[in-house]
Amino acid sequence: DQQVKQNSPSLSVQEGRISILNCDYTNSMFDYFLWYKKYPAEGPTFLISISSIKDKNEDGRFTVFLNKSAKHLSLHIVPSQPGDSAVYFCAASASGTYKYIFGTGTRLKVLA
Amino acid sequence: DAGVIQSPRHEVTEMGQEVTLRCKPISGHNSLFWYRQTMMRGLELLIYFNNNVPIDDSGMPEDRFSAKMPNASFSTLKIQPSEPRDSAVYFCASSGLVGLYNEQFFGPGTRLTVL
């Protein structure tokens, strides 16, 4: 049973446009959410996070939006750059736990 | 800091053989995680150590898998005997204070192929 779902295995976007990556979760106990980015032959690296007390968190070109009622979060990348081409994993965690539950990832390809 | 170090980076073995994957966490981190990445299930947590003690091994697929952390700077994940369905990328990650939403730092992974 996948508690964190990334329903789009892949996404292609033109350079300069917005990339929107989506993630849904089922466990209402989750209150902290993260995005990790993974390049080939490397481990995932932390990109951005959001706590459930917020509905938006911004870091440069990256913004994460959280819709608690819909149990949905999204990562926006504006403007997209070829170097953003990678696999993006969404992860969720609950207070007082150590576990991050990861989704299956979305492969983003930014076309020059 | 060198980050989380894993070895080997690639392992090809035959079914039935023993495989040992190694991990050196970031110095000062007291939590260590072993994950497995597959296309179907994404990143799955196999086992979590805190202060060298296994806290949760509920993600370990079966008895063929075992993990140890003899000291704060070294951990192993062993598969014996290995099977083709164990083929995946195995990641080790470490973090500082758990429960305070500290970032997990991942190693580069070991790509395991069991023939």
**pLDDT per residue over A42-89, tens digit each?**
999 999 999 999 999 999 999 999 999 999 999 999 999 999 999 999
pLDDT of B97 higher than 80: no
Q: CA of B40: which chain A residue's CA is closest?
A: A104
pLDDT at B72: 94
Q: Tell me which chain A residues have a C-beta less than 8 angstroms from the C-beta of B51.
A: none
pLDDT tens, position by position, B18-51: 999 999 999 999 899 999 998 888 899 999 999 9
Using a 10 angstrom Cβ sphere, with 0-12 exposed, 13-18 middle and 19 or more buried, the burial of residue A15 is middle
Q: Tell me which chain A residues have a C-beta less than 8 angstroms from the C-beta of B94.
A: none
Of the residues B35, B43, B49, B105, the best mutation for testing chain A's interface (the one with the most A CB atoms within 10 Å of its CB) is B43
First to last CA, chain A: 37
pLDDT tens, position by position, B80-94: 999 999 999 999 999
Q: What secondary structure, in 3-state letters, does chain B show?
A: CCCCEEECCEEEECCCCCEEEEEECCCCCCEEEEEEEECCCEEEEEEEEECCEEEECCCCCCCCEEEEEEECCEEEEEECCCCHHHCEEEEEEEECCCCCCCCCEECCCEEEEEC
Query: Which residue in A51, A96, A101 is closest to B99 by CB distance?
Result: A96
- Tokens for B16? 């039935």
Cα–chain-centroid distance for residue A12? 16
Q: Provide mean pLDDT across the span A2-18.
A: 94
Query: Which residue in B45, B107, B108 is closest to A99 by CB distance?
Result: B45
